[in-house]
């Protein structure tokens, strides 16, 4: 089992790295060159840089991921693809994507996009909170089998 992170805007990277390192799970952070960093990561954590194209990180994650791997993303499209590949997929706000909820999430995203396209204003995501952070930590620990 490996952990792949859609890392460009992931606010829980440190939690993922900490908990995965403690559980001896390899982590791959996939991010665009525009987020290049010289930060040294702990052993077992790899960073892969991709072009700044819209779905470049998603394509790379899907190329690398195998059945049973864990993927952390806020992208519903990537989540849908990963589920169909047999991966466990988590959102950084602490919920699990499932075959039962992904269609509704994609439909909601589509409706919001159509409303914006027609000129209507839609609300953005709610602010990320410490409660979200702890909810994610708890779910992630449960998924990797340490809780």
- The DSSP-derived string for 96-122 is EE-TTTHHHHHHHHHHHHHHHHTT---
pLDDT tens digits for 49-89?
Answer: 999 887 899 999 999 999 999 999 998 889 999 999 999 99
Q: What is the rounded distance in angstroms from the CA atom of residue 123 to the CA atom of residue 61?
A: 29
The pLDDT value recorded for residue 78 is 94
The pLDDT value recorded for residue 67 is 98
Where do the domains of the chain lie, and which CATH numbers do they carry? 3-143 (3.40.50)
The pLDDT value recorded for residue 109 is 66
- The reported pTM is 0.87
Q: Does an H or E element contain 63, and which?
A: helix 56-64
Query: By the 8 A CB rule, do 43 and 24 touch?
Result: no
47 by DSSP, 3-state: which? strand
Query: By the 8 A CB rule, do 46 and 26 touch?
Result: yes
Tell me the pairing of strands 3-6 and 70-72: parallel
The pLDDT value recorded for residue 1 is 94
The pLDDT value recorded for residue 100 is 86
DSSP-derived letter for residue 52 is S
Q: What is the rounded distance in angstroms from the CA atom of residue 20 to the CA atom of residue 51?
A: 26
Which tokens in the block code for residue 107?
């439909």
The pLDDT value recorded for residue 50 is 96
Q: What residue ranges of the chain have pLDDT lower than 50?
A: none
């Amino acid at each position: 089992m490996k952990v792949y992170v859609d890392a460009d805007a992931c606010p829980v990277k440190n939690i993922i790295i900490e908990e995965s390192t403690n559980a001896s799970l390899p982590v791959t952070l996939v991010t665009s060159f525009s987020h290049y960093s010289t930060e040294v990561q702990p052993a077992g954590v790899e960073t892969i840089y991709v072009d700044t194209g819209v779905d470049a990180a998603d394509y790379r994650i899907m190329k690398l991921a195998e059945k049973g791997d864990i993927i952390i993303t806020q992208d519903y499209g990537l989540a849908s693809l990963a589920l169909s590949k047999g991966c466990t997929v988590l959102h950084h706000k602490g919920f699990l994507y499932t075959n039962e909820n992904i269609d509704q999430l994609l439909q909601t995203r589509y409706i919001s996009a159509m409303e914006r396209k027609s000129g209507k204003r839609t609300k953005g995501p709610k602010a990320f909170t410490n409660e979200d952070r702890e909810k994610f930590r708890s779910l992630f620990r449960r998924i990797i089998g340490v809780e």
